[in-house]
Chains A and B, each alone.
Chain A
Amino acid sequence: MTPEPTDFVETQYATFCAPPNELVLKSGARLGPITLAYETYGNLNEDKSNAIMVYHTLTSDAHAAGWHKDAKKPGWWDPMIGPGKAFDTDKYFVICSNVIGSCMGSTGPASINPKTNKRYGLSFPVVTIEDMVLTQKLLLDHLGIPRLLCAAGGSMGGLQALEWAVTYPQAVRSVICIAANTRHSAQQIALHEVSRQAIMSDPDWQGGDYYGKSVPARGLAVSRMIGHITYMSEKSMEEKFGRKLISKEKLGYDFTHDFEVENYLKYRSDSFVQRFDANSYLYLSKALDYFDLAEDGKLVDAFAPATASFLIVSFTSDWLYPSYQSKQIVKALKANDIDVSDIEINSSYGHDAFLVEVEGQSNLITHFLNRIRKAAHVGAG
């Protein structure tokens, strides 16, 4: 895959909430200034009605599509965003913003606190999905866009899309929520807690104050390994690795790596450690665990303010965000007489299916967006 000259994109930055106008977070803490890294693809039409915001996953970033200069691969959702693709940039203006708390260009624990001129570390306030969406709304206001044609995302991105739908119903016409839920189950929280403990029990973590010193690489790597296991299914791991050995004829009978799956986890976690901040992993995983759309009562009531049309997608083998959780969303939306389509796609890829099953999702998203666009009489950008 080689990029065309028109495929190159650059990350942009917007800064808001400079003191004394800091943002009051859900926890009550104040944070400012806040910078968000974001990218846009396609053109905004004249009446600013063709904007789609896509929300990224826990460890992803604003670079959803196209190519950065000298990059080896395109953005994380490139198969879905671009001319003629599901999020067709000939028709739509697509925005992707990095969330607060992340380390991929937006303000997070690895950022410099202007008050102390030191990195925030654990003095960074705990952020929530609600806070992420709040800052993304500030970005949308900054771009002068009154209403999204669609809010779309998978996994953590799906949670943000749902939160947007109930917090800013007037600012969104449709929602695409993929492999997500409205609250983390005990199992999901438990898996995250193991990941966090892996980081925090690394001696290099130093209470989060490791910047400029050696980073808690081992802890972060273990937490990423756990992540990768949860993103796959038993079947997809079996198909990909089975019990294949790595360049060995027989078992070593020691504690070096024997199996390909061991090597894979090491390779993926080592590359992750190079690009991701351990504290950000703590903050963002906590944000996911704290999220509960129905924290004030019933899920049906939580969706009452929503007015958008919904497309809810889940995958048969996804055990991290199982289909029944998506069905609960559908049920609550139906109870509110909200327009909702849903599908459970048959896939063996587990949670990863969200990024892997391109054909089926492209088909669905293309037609779903066409319907929304036609109903709203939205012109191309």
Chain B
Amino acid sequence: MSEQDKNKEAAPATGRSPQLRFDHKVIMGLIEPNSKVLDLGCGDGTLLSRLIQEKGCHGTGIEIDEKAIYQCVAKGLTVSHGDIDSGLADYSNKRFDYVILHESLQQVLNPRRVILESLRVGKKVIVGIPNFCHSWARLQIFFWGRVPVTKELPYQWYDTPNLRFLSLKDFRYFCRGEKIKILKEVGIVGNRAVRFRRNLFSNVGIYLLEK
């Protein structure tokens, strides 16, 4: 199982069930039918497979974990075995309608380059990030003086696969600095969208980007 899958396993609050994960539902809602999609860090291919079946998309995935590749192929998906950091160079400009970077960005070595490369090969990019500064995490830091460990981010400092720690606000600042347009931001806590103070109350932020 890939680190991302572990993350997904450990993230019941994002509303996962075999039929419907709320974060997947949000992402599906951002994608136009019959689009061409590249899913970076596609895991076992659950989201990609639903996009193909339910939205008539054409899709391909990139995944580092060998076992997940078998699961993707078993779902009838096209998938490439490799890491996200080097996997994007193979594609020409604006090859895809959407590039999805969901639950994988915090684990790549060079997220800035990956996002810019994704915006090069995709007309639009969907990024899903765990929010390291939601209310419960802030409380842990403030009252206990400890680095937060939560249901969504269950790792200790010594075993986390996450290389990057950011908040929704950090991501907005990044996009502004890079002149990336945020077409939509959805904050998620549990099985619902966060309406206000998203950076405080969201566990996960999902962005629709364009450049």
Query: B-contacting residues of A (Cβ < 8 Å)?
Result: 309, 311, 327, 330-331, 334-335, 337, 339-346, 360, 363-364, 367-368, 370-371, 374
Contacts and interface: CB of A to CB of B under 8 A. Distances in A.
Contact of A364 (B73, B80, B90): B73
B: interface residue count bin:
10 to 19
Nearest to B69: A343
Contacts of A330: 80, 90
Given A337-B95, A339-B78, A367 B90 contact: no
A360 B73 CA distance: 11
Given A344-B81, A346-B66, A363-B70, A370 B76 contact: yes
B81 A342 contact: yes
B92 interface: yes
A173 B82 CA distance: 25
Contacts of B69: 341, 343
Interface string B56-70: 000010000010011
**Most B CB atoms within 10 A — which of A309, A334, A337, A363?**
A334
Contacts of A368: 73
Contacts of A370: 76
Interface string B29-60: 00000000000000000000000000000001
Contact of B80 (A341, A360, A374): A341
B79 interface: yes
Interface string B63-104: 000100110111111111110000000111001000000000
Contacts of A371: 76
Shortest 3 CB-CB contacts between residues of A and residues of B:
A334-B90, A371-B76, A343-B81
11 contacts: A330-B90, A340-B78, A340-B80, A341-B78, A342-B80, A343-B69, A367-B73, A367-B76, A370-B76, A371-B76, A374-B76
A360 B70 CA distance: 8
Interface of B: 60, 66, 69-70, 72-82, 90-92, 95
B82 A327 contact: yes
B78 A334 contact: no
Do most interface residues of chain B lie in helix, strand or loop, or is the interface mixed? mixed
Contacts of B82: 327, 342
**Most A CB atoms within 10 A — which of B70, B79, B80, B95?**
B80
Contacts of A341: 69, 72-73, 77-80
Given A335-B92, A337-B95, A343-B69, A363 B80 contact: no
Contacts of A374: 76
Contacts of B70: 343, 360, 363-364
Nearest to B91: A334
B70 to A, nearest CB: 5
A340 to B, nearest CB: 7
A363 B74 contact: yes
A363 B70 CA distance: 7
Contacts of B75: 367
Contact of B74 (A334, A335, A367): A367
A374 B73 CA distance: 14
Contacts of A367: 73-76
B60 to A, nearest CB: 8
Nearest to A346: B66
Contacts of A327: 82
**Most B CB atoms within 10 A — which of A345, A364, A367?**
A367
Given A335-B92, A367-B73, A367-B74, A344 B66 contact: yes
Given A334-B91, A370-B76, 4 more contacts: A330-B90, A334-B90, A341-B73, A341-B79
Nearest to A336: B92
Contacts of B77: 341
B76 A335 contact: no
Nearest to A326: B81
A343 B91 contact: no
B56 to A, nearest CB: 14
A119 to B, nearest CB: 47
Contact of A335 (B72, B73, B80, B90): B90
A340 B73 CA distance: 11
Contacts of A343: 66, 69-70, 73, 81
Nearest to A371: B76
Nearest to B92: A335
Contacts of B66: 343-346
Given A337-B95, A342-B80, A363 B90 contact: no
Contacts of A337: 92, 95
A342 B61 CA distance: 11
Nearest to A339: B78
A327 B90 CA distance: 10
Nearest to A335: B90
A247 B77 CA distance: 52
A331 B76 contact: no
Nearest to A333: B90
Contacts of A360: 70
A327 B95 CA distance: 20
A313 to B, nearest CB: 9
Contacts of A342: 80-82
Contacts of A344: 66, 81
A367 B73 CA distance: 6
Nearest to B86: A327
A345 B69 CA distance: 10
